[in-house]
Amino acid sequence: MILVVNFGGQYAHLITRRIRDLRVYAEILPYTKITLKMVREIRPDAIILSGGPSSVYELQAPKIGKWILSLGIPVLGICYGFQLIAAMMGGEVRRSKGEYGPTKVKILDRSGLFEGWDEEETVWMSHSDHVASPPQDVIVTAISENGYIAAFKHRSLPIYGVQFHPEVKHTYKGSILLDNFVKIAGSSRDWTENRMISLIKEYLKRELEECSSISSAVSGGVDSTVATFLVNQFAGDRLTSIFVNHGLLRKNEPEDVLNLLERTGINPIYIDASKEFLSALRGVKECEKKRKIIGELFVKVFSKSLKGRDFDCLVQGTLYPDVIESGGEIGADRIKSHHNVAGLPEWIKSKVKVIEPLRYLYKDEVRRLALHLGLSKEIVERHPFPGPGLAVRIIGEVTEEKLSIVREASAIVEKVLRKKGFYNKVWQAFASVGDDRWVGVKGDTRVDGYIVTVRIVESEDAMTADWYELPSDILEEISKRITSEIPQVTMVTYAITTKPPSTIEPC
């Protein structure tokens, strides 16, 4: 495996995902937790030092021991990691004019890390410091169009550094560079679905031993379904799964989800709590308040359904980024269930052990695994859907009328995209509605109608997103269908703002 040392921000996840895309297992460790002893135990094939927001010359800057450079295994520093290697080896890092976005670099040595690169390539830069004078023992291997050192390698040791971000898609040959690094590391390409399953099996075997009765909340989303499916395989007779309908689901979703789950061998207890949720949301306009009410009520309904059942373990579809973000790490302690489930009442927290079969995986890996396990394509391909459901696609108060508009309009968006073959090309696609009105003419009558906004985005991980340039005839079809099939709607708009500065959901 390859160890990615995290110096802050989201970079480390993207690097890890790219390495795993090359079928090599990679894990993240925060720089604060890495020790020589631990590295000796984990025995990674190579180490990557990630980017980060700090400056190496600041007193409080994140550091790592110099021992990292004398382990004898390949080390690659990216951006901050590159500057850190330079500083540790006696080079000088200084503030510069900075380079941001696509930048041309000239490659001076097209072997090793840069094999397969042309003499001039475009890379993605994002830095305000630069390596002003390189350490004595390195050879500069790339220079940017602004004259800054863009990469170097050690004269005799397998130590490399790049100022740009090979993990970002806009560095067009970034994955070739990472692939070259994996070759240098000699890692085996064995991060396959079968290896994922054996890792999860090992985890479940160990963790489920203490469980006499297990519960799981399934939503039909890919994470909760795959997590429940896996536990069901190992502990079917001990598992009770529950599907709560909070009344904020998409059109026909309760029936569809129950059908899909049944075909997967999961037969959840169905709880229709829609009335309770809608009445709790009455009069509530602010987004965060809606989220809080829904979250708390969900836990209440779920816990109530568990009362009287003597369960001691709870399945969660937690993914790898959340394990890392909540302070956990896998490499260091080889798994301890520590993950805290937000919002659960004390009586549950004190008695349950949380089972997280997907804690090693990224979302795209869960999708791959689901297909490998033979789960329905419908489950795998469904767009992510927020826990608070349509409440966050309604701006202002959630009323029956707005709920029905958003439900119908979203169903139209999905139907048209599926028909035209675009559904699987985008990350999310939905309609939203607020309280603003647009005067329309329907037949001979003036109608003070609702404005529906259609949002269709491309994204890799929802941290950033681009609006999708859907052909105009398809947009027109969506608009026509929404205004003709939903009488209260007089205007359809298309959201053309990226994230950031916008968010994906309107509320």
Query: What residues are labeled active site?
Result: 79, 165, 167
- Closest contact distance (angstroms) between CB of 122 and ligand XMP is 28
Size of the site for ligand XMP (CB under 6 A): 12
Write out the binding residues for ligand XMP, residues 18-37 only, by CB under 6 A. Answer: none
Strand partners, 243: 270
CA distance 195 to 216: 25
Write out the binding residues for ligand XMP, residues 428-447 only, by CB under 6 A. Answer: 428
Nearer residue to ligand XMP within complex by CB, 113 or 406: 406
Nearer residue to ligand XMP within complex by CB, 171 or 432: 432
CB 239 within 8 A of CB 228: yes
In the shown chain, the binding pattern of residues 283 to 302 toward ligand XMP, with x for contact by CB under 6 A and - for none, equals: --------x-----------
- Closest contact distance (angstroms) between CB of 112 and ligand XMP is 39
Nearer residue to ligand XMP within complex by CB, 69 or 417: 417
Judged by phi (left if over 0) then psi (alpha if -120 to 50, else beta), residue 466 lies in beta
In the shown chain, the binding pattern of residues 392 to 431 toward ligand XMP, with x for contact by CB under 6 A and - for none, equals: x-----------------------------------x---
Query: Segment contacting ligand XMP (CB under 6 A): 3-11, 106-114, 268-276, 380-388?
Result: 380-388
Q: Is 343 in the site for ligand XMP (CB under 6 A)?
A: no
CA distance 102 to 129: 17
Residues in Cβ contact with 404 at an 8 Å cutoff, skipping those fewer than 6 apart:
none
- Closest contact distance (angstroms) between CB of 78 and ligand XMP is 25
Query: Segment contacting ligand XMP (CB under 6 A): 83-91, 340-348, 386-394, 410-418?
Result: 386-394
Per-residue HEC secondary structure of 265-289 comes to: CCCCEEEECHHHHHHHHCCCCCHHH
Give ∠ CA 315-317-318 in degrees, rounded to 5.
Answer: 110
Cα atoms in the Cβ-side hemisphere of radius 13 Å centred on 174: 23
Q: Is 254 in the site for ligand XMP (CB under 6 A)?
A: no
Residue whose tokens read 């927290």? 349
- Alpha helix locations (H) across 51-190? 80-88, 174-185
Q: Is 322 in the site for ligand XMP (CB under 6 A)?
A: no
CB 396 within 8 A of CB 303: no
Strand order of the β-sheet with 239-245 is: 269-272, 239-245, 214-217, 313-315, 353-355
Nearer residue to ligand XMP within complex by CB, 124 or 385: 385
Q: Is 388 in the site for ligand XMP (CB under 6 A)?
A: yes
CA distance 150 to 108: 10
Nearer residue to ligand XMP within complex by CB, 285 or 499: 499
Nearer residue to ligand XMP within complex by CB, 216 or 428: 428
Q: What residues line the site for ligand XMP (CB under 6 A)?
A: 291, 384, 386-388, 392, 428, 462, 499, 503-505
